[in-house]
Amino acid sequence: MTDSRDGQTYKIVQIGSQIWMAQNLNYKTAGSNCYNNRANNCAKYGRFYTWAAAMDSVGKWDKSGNGCGYGKTCSPSYPVRGVCPAGWHLPSKTEWETLFDAVGGQSTASTKLKSKSGWYSNGNGTDAFGFSALPAGYRYYIGSDYGEGDGASFWSSTEDSSDGVYHMYLDCDRDNAFLYYYSKNYGFSVRCVKD
């Protein structure tokens, strides 16, 4: 798939009834950054986005995510394109759960979705479905990056509160995937799913 906005190409994969990007989004926009602000990390891991940037609070690509962010309650129309390319959208909590079901359940999803290399503590996955999740880490709300090699965090479009939103997390030490809420002002990766 080619993102017409900047010409970058992404691998895609069908898992069950869904078609996912098989790489993290690397579209440069306000509210995004590379791990440790190094361009080679963006080439490897894609960019981190605040939830406001992932939902596209400026409304450039998707008006339904306009005004979303930390301390604000958002009521978007689903699906939310957000920062994703045209024809793709930011996955909802339910769509992450659908992915877990398609790979055999949440209790083993981490092992099956993680890449075969790059994870600490012998935590590499089998990449059984071609999702190829790399341990990109995340951006802490104060602007420092952490967790390269340890974990991967991906935004959903589903809000929990004015401060929190659901995200999907994979850990080097766990077979199961996590889906729980976290602060909107962190920087996480984005995987888009096809409309």
Per-residue pLDDT tens over the stretch 22-42: 999 999 999 999 999 999 999
pLDDT digits (tens, 9 = 90+) for 94-111: 999 999 999 999 999 999
| Dist. CA 43–CA 126, nearest whole Å | 22
Number of domains in the chain: 1
- Residue 142 belongs to a domain: yes
**Do the domain assignments include residue 61?**
yes
Query: Is 65 a member of any domain?
Result: yes
Q: Is residue 6 part of a domain?
A: no
Which pLDDT score, from 0 to 100, does residue 58 have? Answer: 82
What DSSP string describes 91-128? PPHHHHHHHHHHTT-TTTHHHHHB-SSS-STT-----T
Domain that holds residue 78: 12-194
**How far is 61 from 82, CA to CA, in rounded Å?**
6
Question: Is residue 32 a contact partner of residue 21, using CB atoms and an 8 Å limit?
Answer: no
pLDDT at 67: 84
In a domain, 5, yes or no: no
Q: Would residue 99 count as lying in a domain? A: yes
Residue 4 lies in a domain: no
Please classify residue 139 by burial: count the beta carbons closer than 10 Å to its beta carbon, then call 0-12 exposed, 13-18 middle and 19+ buried: buried
- Closest of 186, 189, 184, 143 to residue 160, by C-alpha: 184
Structural domain includes residue 3 = no
Q: What is the pLDDT of residues 47-99, one digit of tens each?
A: 999 999 999 988 899 888 888 888 888 889 999 999 999 999 999 999 999 99
